[in-house]
Amino acid sequence: MTKKLFIKTYGCQMNVYDTERMVDVMAHEGYQVIDTPDEADLVVLNTCHIREKAAEKVYSDIGRLRVMKEKRRKAGAKDSILAVGGCVAQAEGAEIHRRAPVVDMVFGPQTYHRLPEMTRAADKSKSAGDRPRIVDTDLAVSEKFAALSKKAVAAKKTAFLTVQEGCDKFCTYCVVPYTRGGEFSRSFEDVMADAVKLNEAGVLEVTLLGQNVNAYHGHDVSGTEWSLARLIRHLAEVTDFKRIRYTTSHPHDMTDELIAVHGDVAECMPYLHLPVQAGSDRIVKAMNRHHTVAAYLKTIEDIRAVRSDIALSGDFIVGFPGETDADFQATMDLVRQVNYAQAYSFMYSERPGTPAAGWDDQVESHVKSERLAELQEELNRQQRAFNDNSVGQTLPVLLERTGKEASHLVGRSPYMQAVYVDVGDGALAEQYFGKLVDMKIISAGPRSLKGEFVG
Ligand code: SAH
Ligand code: SF4
Ligand code: F3S
């Protein structure tokens, strides 16, 4: 008998990748994914701890799930198993059981390959009352990948492939080094085995993932070190991937070798997510970012020299402790200088256990919101201008999903812009779904482009 699994994913692409792997391992246990938690035998929350809002959302979701479980029990159905995984689980561990006794299992980002055993143990007991409380937040990464790569890979046209995990940078605001552990690069052979599997399953676009993906330095069996740049060149040579992307990169690890790849590897897409966080050296230093603003701008200049059309993206934090109006204006200046195709921006959020959380020069919340609004207005204007500039161009689009309306197919341009096309009914959708096609861009909106087929 098949069992039902509901997984909710919060946070970054690493979590999206992890969720896909959990679906793989649980498929081997007879679990099928469903879209709502109501009928699920196993509910997994794959959580994010990066900002307070993200972490608190998990507890309100747990509250709703508690009511749902109660209803199921009253209706005489078997009690569902509630598991909290991901970065909140790693950060809070057994504290989650104390705050939310309804939770059966807590496991971190590096232990989800043991989900089958944990679930079997929880499944043996009839109700939550006599279930063992499981907490598994070990941080040893290598064992996980070894266990996972034996399992099947889902076949889609685009796929994530984690090559690196964790972080040693310790930015003073960030929880990631604590929730994901230290930097770990998978071996060259492991990465290639997964890449070949994806390629054979028909994947056309692969995104290499890591918290600091450009710090990748996996070894091969002979002990030789592979940089991300070499890995991308090799993938372009030996696989049929039409598109290769990578994210997220740290400015400190943006080497000349990697910049050169953007100039001469056609499969390497002209899009770079390179967070700078702030435009004032004083703040960047206090954040422990390991680079100066000038060095960041030089990297941008170098990359534009080899690939002038590259779409640049970034992350920004406003209201970091001690940020003055002048510091914030330096961020605005930098943004105007770089001219982003898109970007993410956040108000600084104090995170437990990080150095900056204890500092006494916290910025008032209304100041943070004012700065965020000013920054986002400029970033939105830049994104709109970048999109407007695409109108009239013919761009290859990988049509990978249906859109808001049933007659829409949606895909990404080389620059990561969402492009949709109205295919009317049936036949065209069949013909173009999952294909990489040239499209003429006929109009632009703030977040997406509209295209039509060429010829
Ligand atoms: N490894 C990546 C990003 C990891 S987290 C990098 O170094 O760029 C994604 C983004 O969340 C960060 O780039 C940062 O902009 C934001 N972020 C992280 N911690 C934060 C905090 N405490 N408050 C607000 N934003 C935060
Ligand atoms: Fe966090 Fe900084 Fe590491 Fe990025 S580089 S994950 S922001 S500590
Ligand atoms: Fe969030 Fe963990 Fe990713 S904290 S951003 S899910 S690495």
- 219's CB contacts (< 8 A; 6+ apart) are 185, 187, 188, 225, 226
Long-range pairs for 188-191: beta carbons < 8 A, 24 or more residues apart: 188/218, 188/219, 188/220, 188/226, 188/231, 189/220, 189/221, 190/145, 190/149, 190/218, 191/161, 191/163, 191/218, 191/231
Which residues of the chain are in CATH 2.40.50.140 domains?
394-453
Q: Would you say the CB of residue 167 lies under 6 angstroms from ligand 2? A: yes
What's the gap between Cα 341 and its chain centre?
18
Backbone phi and psi for residue 54, each to the nearest 5 degrees, phi listed first: -60, -45
What CATH number belongs to 3-139? 3.40.50.12160
Numbered ranges of CATH 3.40.50.12160 in the chain? 3-139
Pocket test for ligand 2, best of 14, 164, 167, 170 (most atoms within 8 A of CB): 167
Q: Which of 176, 213, 344 to mutate to test the pocket of ligand 3 (most atoms within 8 A of CB)?
A: 176
Q: 142-388 maps to which CATH number?
A: 3.80.30.20
What is the pLDDT, as a whole number, of residue 128?
56
Q: What is the pLDDT of residue 127?
A: 59
- Atom 1 in ligand 1: which residue has the minimum CA distance? 211
What atom in ligand 1 is closest to the CA of residue 211? 1
Burial track 139-177 (b if 16+ CB lie within 10 A, e otherwise): bebeebbeebbeeebeebbbbbbbbbbbbebebbbbbbb
Tell me the pLDDT tens digit for each residue of 105-160. Answer: 999 999 999 999 999 988 887 555 667 788 888 887 767 887 776 555 556 899 99
Q: Give the C-alpha distances (Å, rounded to integers) separating 303 from 5, 125, 297, 308, 309.
A: 44, 58, 10, 8, 10
Closest by alpha carbon to 212, among 180, 256, 257, 173? 180
Q: What is the pLDDT of residues 170-199, one digit of tens each?
A: 999 999 999 999 999 999 999 999 999 999
Q: Which residues, other chains included, contact 276 with Cβ-Cβ below 8 Å and sequence gap of 6+?
A: 251, 284, 289, 293, 296, 314, 315, 316, 334
Structure token pair of residue 269: 């897409």
Superfamily of domain 394-453: Nucleic acid-binding proteins (2.40.50.140)
Edge-first strand order for the sheet with 205-209 is 158-162, 205-209, 243-247
Q: Is the pTM of this model over 0.85?
A: yes
Question: Which atom of ligand 3 is the closest one to the Cα of 54?
Answer: 1
Residue nearest to atom 4 of ligand 1 (CA): 211
Structure tokens at 381: 């204007």
Nearest to 282 by CA among 267, 273, 272, 293: 293
Q: For strand 205-209 and strand 158-162, is the pairing parallel, antiparallel, or unpaired? A: parallel
Give the nearest ligand 1 atom to 350 CA.
Answer: 22
Among protein residues, the one with the nearest Cα to ligand 3's atom 1 is: 48
Q: pLDDT tens per residue, the chain (455 residues)? A: 789 999 999 999 999 999 999 999 999 999 999 999 999 999 999 999 999 999 999 999 999 999 999 998 888 888 899 999 999 999 999 999 999 999 999 999 999 999 999 999 888 875 556 677 888 888 877 678 877 765 555 568 999 999 999 999 999 999 999 999 999 999 999 999 999 999 999 999 999 999 999 999 999 999 999 999 999 999 999 999 999 999 999 999 999 999 999 999 999 999 999 999 999 999 999 999 999 999 999 999 999 999 999 999 999 999 999 999 999 999 999 999 999 999 999 999 999 999 999 999 999 999 999 999 999 999 999 999 999 999 999 999 999 988 888 889 999 999 999 999 998 877 788 888 899 999 999 999 999 999 999 97
- Ligand 3 contacts (CB < 6 A) are 11-12, 14-15, 48-50, 86-87, 175-176, 179-180
Question: Which single residue is written with the structure tokens 């290598």?
Answer: 142
Cβ contacts of 230 within 8 Å, gap of 6 or more: 257
Q: Residue 198: what pLDDT?
A: 94
Q: Which atom of ligand 1 is nearest to the CA of 277?
A: 15
Q: Which atom number of ligand 3 is nearest to the Cα of residue 50?
A: 4
C-alpha of residue 220 to centroid of ligand 2, in Å = 26
For the record, the structure tokens of 298 come out as 């030089």
Residue 363 CB neighbour total at 10 angstroms: 19
In eight-state DSSP terms, residue 391 is T
Q: Which bound ligand lies closest to the C-alpha atom of 372?
A: 1
Instruction: Select from 17, 19, 48, 169 the residue to mutate for testing ligand 3; criterion: most ligand atoms less than 8 Å from CB.
Output: 48
Ligand 1 binding pocket, CB closer than 6 Å: 50-51, 173-174, 176, 211-212, 248, 250, 275, 277, 315, 317, 346, 348-349, 351
Query: Quick one: 198 exposed, middle or buried, by C-beta within 10 A (0-12, 13-18, 19+)?
Result: buried
